[in-house]
Amino acid sequence: MFKALVMEQNDEGLASAEIKEISEDALPEGNVTVAVEYTTVNYKDGLCLSAKGGGLVRNYPHVPGIDYAGTVEASDDDRYKPGDKVVLTGWRVGEASWGGYAQKARISADKLVPLPAGLDTRQAMAVGTAGFTAMLAVMALEDHGLKPGNGPVLVTGAAGGVGSVATAILANLGYEVAAVTGRPDQADYLKSLGATTIVPREELNETTKRPLEKETWAGCVDAVGGDMLARVLGQMKYGASISAVGLAGGAGLPATVIPFLLRGVNLLGIDSVMQPFENRQRAWERVATDLPMDKLEAMINPAKLEDLPALGADILKGQVKGRVVVDVN
Ligand code: NDP
């Protein structure tokens, strides 16, 4: 038996969470059983913890948790043996299948990534999907020519999970980082991560009729989407790229194609969920080398399984700072 946060539906079809003791037989199919040590809270987890499951949860009872890190307990796959440290993100785990809000998880070996040297399971969950995606976003900008010295790089939704990790990685790589936040009280936190400029959210979340503004940003990691992304497109330097990661400010894109046609701006889509293994491994290794662990430590809010329902509601309101690390034991 082990402890898990289980979501169950009432007669009206609304789900709520309860911590329960469940048996290993209840775990989904898979060839690797993982003793989970830490999990976390991403925006998607907030949706999965909500009464309607955010349209993501397929069946109840359900164990959410889109990320986890732990130790292999049993494996029928040659790539993993008991005692190996592993990390899991994405693949719709915690949405379509049971996830990491439990002391045990079962999964296909194809979906796991060995923990890179230099990262423990707690740090891996401080990174989580949000940080992993921030790394993918930075890698995509580099692959499209971004180099330190090209000019300032904008990070939107900067005090959130993706934004915090993107800020710390970019600053550590030598980029000048401009951090957009709607929480002025987080300015010192963002500067401690390495941001050199704080851009108030109001400056960028209003639409303009001008398709092009002053060429300002050499790159952008965008966690916000919506009006802000549309606005930022018109402020990119010639040939610069934006990694489109999130929709915290909306899924729409009320933009024109002018920045693409006249400035050769690139809009790069970033998906962490179905990312192939080789790039996952590359990104986790880059996280271990390029994200300063003292900065990561400053982002961590520790929590327990019991805290998850409240944290899920908070992240949907944009009220979680940095990264939550949940010790499931
Ligand atoms: P967080 O809630 O931690 O961060 C989002 C941040 O966006 C907030 O902290 C806030 O930053 C800002 N924000 C919130 N609401 C608004 C708004 N209305 N207008 C402008 N800014 C806003 O979430 P995550 O960092 O975990 O995720 C960020 C986004 O990225 C989400 O949309 C998520 O779904 C997406 N995502 C996508 C992935 C992918 O594979 N493509 C993977 C992971 C996440 P501040 O207070 O500083 O303004």
Q: Average of pLDDT values for 80-87?
A: 98
Are 28 and 66 members of one domain? yes
Are 222 and 91 members of one domain? no
Asked if residue 120 is part of any domain, the answer here is no
Is residue 57 within 8 Å of residue 14, measured between CB atoms?
no
pLDDT of the residue at 208: 85
Are 133 and 36 members of one domain? no
Are 95 and 225 members of one domain? no
Model confidence over 39-73: pLDDT tens digits?
A: 999 989 999 999 999 999 989 999 999 999 999 99
Residue 233, SS3? helix
182 pocket-lining for ligand 1 (C-beta < 6 Å): yes
Model confidence over 286-316: pLDDT tens digits?
A: 999 999 999 999 889 999 999 999 999 999 9
Report whether pLDDT(38) > 90. yes
Report whether pLDDT(268) > 90. yes
Are 135 and 264 members of one domain? yes
Helices (H), 107-241: 121-143, 161-172, 187-193, 226-233
Mean pLDDT rounded to a whole number for the chain: 96
Atom from ligand 1 closest to the CA of residue 159: 47
**The whole model's pTM is what?**
0.95
Percent of the chain with pLDDT over 90: 96
Model confidence over 191-208: pLDDT tens digits?
A: 999 999 999 999 998 888
Is residue 170 within 8 Å of residue 152, measured between CB atoms?
no
pLDDT of the residue at 207: 82
pLDDT of the residue at 323: 92
Domain extent for 99: 2-115+296-327
Q: How many domains is the chain partitioned into structurally?
A: 2
Residue nearest to atom 29 of ligand 1 (CA): 246
pLDDT of the residue at 151: 98
Are 134 and 258 members of one domain? yes
φ/ψ of 314, rounded to 5, equals -60, -45
Is residue 15 within 8 Å of residue 53, measured between CB atoms?
yes
Are 264 and 317 members of one domain? no
Q: CB within 8 A of 43, min separation 6: which ones?
A: 130, 160, 161, 246, 248, 315, 316
DSSP codes joined into one string, 29-92: P-SEEEEEEEEE--HHHHHHHSTTGGGT--SSSB---SEEEEEEEEESSTT--TT-EEEEE-TT
Are 189 and 263 members of one domain? yes
Asked if residue 279 is part of any domain, the answer here is no
Distance of CA 134 to the CA centre of its chain: 7
Report whether pLDDT(322) > 90. no
For the chain, helix, strand, coil in percent to 5 are: 35, 30, 40
Which one, of 120, 112, 95, 132, lies nearest residue 37 by Cα? 120
CATH number for 217: 3.40.50.720
Atom from ligand 1 closest to the CA of residue 271: 40
CATH number for 22: 3.90.180.10
Report whether pLDDT(321) > 90. no
Are 36 and 138 members of one domain? no
Q: How far is the CA of 271 from the centre of ligand 1 (A)?
A: 14
Model confidence over 243-257: pLDDT tens digits?
A: 999 999 999 999 999
Asked if residue 210 is part of any domain, the answer here is yes
- C-alpha distances out from residue 100 to 7, 54, 188, Å: 13, 18, 32
For β-strands 300-304 and 266-269, DSSP reports them as unpaired
Q: Does an H or E element contain 17, and which?
A: strand 15-22
Q: CB within 8 A of 247, min separation 6: which ones?
A: 224, 225, 226
pLDDT of the residue at 171: 98
Atom from ligand 1 closest to the CA of residue 44: 34
42 pocket-lining for ligand 1 (C-beta < 6 Å): yes
ipTM score for this prediction: 0.99
Report whether pLDDT(223) > 90. yes
Q: Average of pLDDT values for 235-264?
A: 97
Asked if residue 280 is part of any domain, the answer here is no
133 pocket-lining for ligand 1 (C-beta < 6 Å): yes
Q: Does an H or E element contain 310, and which?
A: helix 308-316
Is residue 309 within 8 Å of residue 15, measured between CB atoms?
no
Q: How far is the CA of 248 from the centre of ligand 1 (A)?
A: 4
